[in-house]
Amino acid sequence: MTPTTVRERALKILPPELCFIDGRFRAGSGAEQRFVHPGDGDTFATRRLASPSDVDDSVAAAAVAQVGWWQQDPGRRRDILNSIAGAVRDHADELAALVTLEMGMPIKASTAGVHQAAEWFSYYAGYADKLSGAVPTVGAPGGTLTYTEHTPHGVVGAIIPWNGPVIALALKVAPALAAGNAVVLKPSEIAPFSSLRFAELAHAAGLPAGVLDVVAAAKDGGERLTSHPAVSMLTFTGGNVAGEAVAATAARRQIPVVLELGGKSASVIFDDVDVRRTAKISLILGAVQNSGQGCFLPTRVLVQDTIFDEFVEHLAAAADSIMIGDPFDPKVSMGPVVSEQARDRIEGVVDTALTEGARRIGTGGRPTSVSAAGSFLAPTVLHAAHDSGIAQDEVFGPVLTVIPFSDEDQAVAIANGTRFGLAGYVWTRDVSRAHRVASRLEAGNVSINGMAGLPPNAEFVGWHASGPGREGGESGFYDFLRTKVIHVQL
């Protein structure tokens, strides 16, 4: 299938409206928005965003639907979630094409992300019929019986970003539904179409109307969702400023919230690695993958000083050799950043870093090999001080900061020297050092000699300013449940 054919397929199944409420599409009543494909700058749709009143309607529908969903036989909920997983696999090509159309992720990567999302639904389907309490001993034998039971929160308000919408949806929606909640999902207004199509597929797979509603709203819709009195739990993935606002609203309302926020993750590279290979992998993981638009990507590359010059030479060569182009082309490994505005912002961050003393390694900038109308940026590698702005603040673009270190202690100090704590990476052939450094890194997720990704059976955890949330695994399921302790006097 040619890139043009894949794009045409996405346009044919483009959801007609930006609200999916109570099992059907309907027009939003908010402002009109134009949607632009970042690969060529062409407008592919114009739609009206959801308004706060649309959010109200969605929450009302979800509140009604949740009661019946929770009262379903648990095996029925399990089967429906498995059916959703199957529907996602069956329609993976079209969901991936929508992701590529709306935010520019290369089609090979967006397809992999959709299949990963299906795995999350399969995994949590298995929890739907295995909910159990406990019978603790709290009194004299024969005098009392104490047991616990778990119940859903009710309506969960979920907000996801644009940089991987289908997998971001799965991380929240799959465990929430398995636990018996209904979900009102607000995708980013930049990239809402894959989430809307997902909801349509879930409904066709047997999910009752209203159990998963999607409202593509701007900031005012998000504020209404987080403050709505019928929403009993919040889960948010996104930037720190918005995350702080969501956390403050949850605190005022005294409801639980899961936050997955920003990152400035470090790759710690010791001098016993294969230098050429590790330099290429570092570039791919930190800058090429999704054009560097990921919260847990290793965008700080800490390199032992004994191999620093050789490493950055290979890093620059790798950056200049990356194939950048049409994200619908399966041979392309790097597409555009999400928008022209994002490209301009990233270029401004790089310019500021250069004026503050950073040194550019390699070319970077706007590639001449692709359409100037698209929002393309080549990988940019900067040598900068560990306490500089470019090494401390999340860029969310294809920009790597390389920093030398002399020994293990200094490497750990630099790696831990930011306000974030989402991920860390260690590269070495020394097994003892690998475990030792991994244990010392102040991060919720650490990978050794690779990247783990997002397996559903393992927790994805944030520390510090990366948010207190955890997603995945058994604990990621129980976070969507409330515990009740019942005492019986015998």
Of the candidates 451, 394, 412, which has an alpha carbon nearest to the alpha carbon of residue 239? Answer: 394
Whether the CB-CB separation of 273 and 450 falls below 8 Å is answered with: no
Task: Say which of 94, 119, 189, 260 is annotated catalytic.
Answer: 260
Distance CA 214, CA 159 (A): 10
Would you call 19 a catalytic residue per the annotation? no
Please tell me the distance from the alpha carbon of residue 168 to that of residue 297, in angstroms, as a whole number.
Answer: 15
Query: Angle at the Cα of 445 (from 443 to 446), degrees rounded to 5?
Result: 90
Q: Between the CA of residue 172 and those of 124, 161, 177, 257, 334, what are the distances in Å?
A: 11, 12, 9, 12, 27
Set 295, 313, 340, 408: catalytic member: 295
- What backbone torsions phi and psi does residue 403 show, to the nearest 5 degrees? -140, 130
Q: Is 244 a catalytic residue?
A: no
**Which residue matches tokens 């969501």?**
246
Partners of 19 in the beta sheet? Answer: 26, 215
Tokens for 54, please give them. 């649309």
Q: Which amino acid is at 213?
A: D
Active site residues: 260, 295
